Structure 1
Amino acid sequence: MFSGSIPALVTPFDAQGDFVESAYRDLVEWQIAEGSSALVPCGTTGEAATLTKDEQFAIVRVCVDQARGRVPVIAGAGSNDTRVAVANLIAAKEAGADAALMVPPYYNRPSQEGIFQHFAALAPHAPLPIVLYNVPGRTVTDIQPATLARIVTAFPTVFVAVKDASGVLQRVSEHRALVGADFCQLSGNDDMALGYNATGGVGCISVSANVAPRLCADFQAACAAGDYAKARDLNDRLFALHVALFTDASPGPVKYAMTKVRPGFPDGLRLPMTWPSEASRAAVDAGLAQAGLV
C-alpha cells in the first residue's frame, strides 16, 4: 500500500512553542514537489509526545488539507492506553488521514500476548488501515516476528504494513517467511534502508527525508528499480547525514538541519526536547556538506 521515501515530518514551533502553520504547509508542499511518496504527521520526529490530542489531530488536518490527495497521509496515532488508541484512530479518520501509524504500548511493557491483545482490540474499531510501528529503542516493547505474523494474519485488511525500527535486519526475511513477500515492510532507520530494501523492504519512513527529500526519493527509486549501484552511491552520499541526525536527542539535530536547508524555518522545540549540542551541530553540518545540501 505504501512505498518509497516517506518523511516523518518535523512539526515547526516558534520560540514560544506554538505551531507555525504556514511553515508546515510550506514543508508539505516542498516534500511533495521533491518526490516524497507519502507523509507522516505527528510521529516521533513530529514531537507527538508533547502535543495535546486536539493539537495533534489539528496538525494532521492541516497536513491532509495541504496534501490535497496528492500523496497519502499516515497519521501518528499510537498510545500506551488501548482505549485512547481507539479514540486516536477515530480522530485520525475524522482529520482526513489515509492510514494510521501505531506503536505498541510503551512504558507499560506488555507481554507479547498483551501486544497482540492491544492490536486485536483496535481492529474492530479501526476506520483506517494501520501501519504497525515497532521501535523498541523508544517503547521498550518489541513486536516479535511471530507476534507481528499473528496480528497480520488475524486482521489482514487492517494491518497493512510495518515500520520496522528494531535495528534487526534479519526481521525483513523473518517477516517474509511468516506473512508472505507481499506484506509491506518499511524501514524505520535511514542508515539501514539500503540493506533493508535489498532483503525485501519497499521504502523508509524517514527522518533524513525532512532535509534531503529529493535525494531520499531518488535513493528509494533506485532500490525499487533494482539499480543498487546507484542506490549505494546515494547511500554513501547520505550516510553521514543519517548518522548525524541522531548525534543528539531527536528531533533536535533534524530541526537544526532544517534551518540550514530551509533558511527561516522555525527552530523551536518543546521541552523536554532541546537544541542539539555544538558537537551534534558540527556533525550535521558535515553531513549536509557531504550530501551536497549546503
Structure 2
Amino acid sequence: MFRRRQAEPEPPGFRGLWAAAVTPHRRERHEADHAAMLELVDRLAKSGVDGIVLLGATGEFINVKPEDRQRLLHLAIKRSRVPIIAGVSHSTLDGAVMLAEAAVDSGAVGLLLMPPYFYRYTPEDIGEFYRLFAIAIGGALPILLYNIPAFTNAIPIELARELLTSGDFAGIKDSSGDPDYLNALLAIEAPHPLSILCGNDRLFADALRNGVSGAVSGVACAVPELMLALFHAIRSNDATAAGQLESEVNAFIDWIDRFPVPVGISAACEARGDKVGPPAIPPNAEQFDSLEEFKNWFASWLPFVLNLHARSLT
C-alpha cells in the first residue's frame, strides 16, 4: 500500500534540464558501483541541472539487479542536492510496482515508466498496464510515461492522449526522436498541466523552441555545461549562440552514435574522471580503437565547450 507524503506540497511539474545518468559498474561481475554513483550524482548536482533521472535507458537499468536498483535509488536520493526521478521500468507489472514502492520510500519526486519490454504487446495491453500501475501507486508520486520505441513497445499517440487526459499521469518523456509525435503531444489538451519532456538530444533545441516543458538528456550526463548553455541560449532567444551550441551537441552525438547505448556517454564520463567501469559487453578491437579515438577527441574538445558555457554565464 502506497502512502502519499502529506507533509509535502504537490510537485509543480517537471521542467528544465534533467540529466539522464549512467550507472557506474564495478569491474567484477558488472555489479553496480554505489560509491561511484554518489560521486557522479555530486558532479551532476553541482553542474546546475534541474534534476537527475536514474535508471532509465541511459542508466542501463536492465543490467542492474532489482535489489541494486532499490539501493542505488535510496543512496542517490539521500545524497543529491537536486530532485531525482526514479526509473521503475520492468518487464512485469508487479516488478514495476515493487520498484516504485522503493522509490516512494526513498524520496524520489517522480516515477518514469516505459511499457513492458521484450515481448510485443498491443496498445490495449499497454494501456491496461499503465492504468493498473496508476491504481497501485494511488497518487503517491507523479508518474511519467516513457515512450522509447527503440528499446520496447511504443506508446501510440492515441493511447498517450488517452492516458495523459485521464488525470492519472503527470506527463511523458518522449525519446522516439519523432518530431511529429512530439508536436502531437504538445497539442494535447488535458484537465491539468502536463510535463512534456524531450528525451532525444538531437531534437533538444527544436523541442525547446516549440514549447516542451524541458528535457531529459543523456548528453547532459557527460557534458551538462553544453546542454545548460544551449538551454539558456534558447530561453533567452540568442539565436547566434544557440546555433553554435547546437552544432557542438550534434558533433558529440555523431561520435556517441557509433557505439551501443550508453557506451559513448560512459566513455565521455570516464574521460572527465568519473569511475564508470567497463561496458556490459567488452568492445571488439575496432570499437576499442574507436573509443580511444573518441576519448582523445573529447579531451581536446571539452575545454572549448567549458569556455562556451562560461561565456553563457556572463
How far, CA to CA, are the matches of 2:202 and 2:227 in structure 1? Answer: 11
Q: What is the alpha-carbon distance in structure 2 between the residues aligned to residue 105 and residue 213 of structure 1? A: 30
1:88 is matched with 99
Give deviations 1:100-121, integer Å, cap 9, x for gaps.
Answer: 1100111222111111111111
Deviation at residue 134 of structure 1 after TM alignment:
0.5
2:131 equivalent in structure 1: 120
Shift of 1:274: 4.8
Describe the shift of the 1:287–1:4 C-alpha distance in structure 2 as closer, same or farther (beyond 3 A): farther
The structure with more radius of gyration: 2
- Which residue, 165, 171, 187 being the options, matches 2:175? 165
Structure-1 separation of matches of 2:119 and 2:175: 19
> What do the CA deviations read for 1:146-174 (whole angstroms, capped 9, x no partner)?
111100111x2x41121111111022221
Q: Which residue of 2 aligns with 1:196?
A: 207
Q: Provide structure 1 residue ranges, at least 5 long, that are not aligned to the other structure.
A: none
Matched letter for residue 104 of structure 1: P
Counterpart position of 1:30 = 43
2:227 corresponding residue in structure 1: 216
The aligned amino acid for 1:239 is: N
> Retained in 2: the 8 A contact 1:36–1:217?
yes
In 2: Cα distance, 1:230 partner to 1:76 partner: 33
2:78·2:106 contact (CA, 8 Å) conserved in 1?
A: no
1:150 counterpart residue number: 162
Aligned to 1:51: 64
Give the Cα separation in 1 of the matches to 2:113 and 2:254.
25
| Count of residues in Structure 1 that have an aligned counterpart in Structure 2 | 287
**Whole-angstrom CA distance in 2 between matches of 1:161 and 1:168:** 17
Distance 1:255 1:134 in 2: 23
Structure 2 runs not aligned, ≥5 long: 1-12, 307-314
Q: Report the CA distance between 1:287 and its aligned residue.
A: 5.2
Change beyond 3 A, Cα 1:205–1:273: farther
Note if 1:259 corresponds to 2:277.
Answer: no
Q: Which one-letter code corresponds to 1:227 in the other structure?
A: D
Which is further off, 129-138 or 196-205? Answer: 196-205
What whole-Å deviation, never above 9, does each CA across 1:117-136 have from its counterpart, x for those lacking one? Answer: 11111111222111111000
Aligned residue in 1 for 2:184: 174
Pairing of 1:273-284 with structure 2 (within 5 A) = 274=283, 276-283=287-294
Q: Could you tell me how far apart the structure 1 residues matched to 2:27 and 2:154 are?
A: 36
Q: Does 1:79 align with 2:90?
A: yes
Q: CA deviation at 1:273?
A: 6.6
The alpha carbon displacement at 1:39 in A equals 0.6
Question: What is the match of residue 19 of structure 1?
Answer: 32
Cα shift readout 1:11-36 (whole Å, capped 9, x = no counterpart): 11221133333322221111111111
Taking structure 1 as the reference length, the TM-score comes to 0.89
SS in 2 for 1:39: strand
Alignment partner for residue 53 of structure 2, among 19, 40, 48?
Answer: 40
Q: Tell me what 2:148 maps to.
A: 135
- Give me the whole-angstrom Cα distance separating, in 2, the residues matched to 1:134 and 1:8: 15
Q: Amino acid of the residue matched to residue 114 of structure 1?
A: D
Mapped contact 1:79–1:85 kept (Cα < 8 A): yes
Partners of 1:225 and 1:32 in 2: how far apart? 23
Query: Structure 2: how far apart are the matches of 1:224 and 1:161?
Result: 21
CA contact (8 A) 2:22 2:59 kept: yes
Pick from 195, 218, 240: which aligns with 1:184?
195
Contact 1:7 1:39 in 2 (8 A): yes
Amino acid at match of 1:44: A
Contact kept? 2:226, 2:305, Cα under 8 Å = no
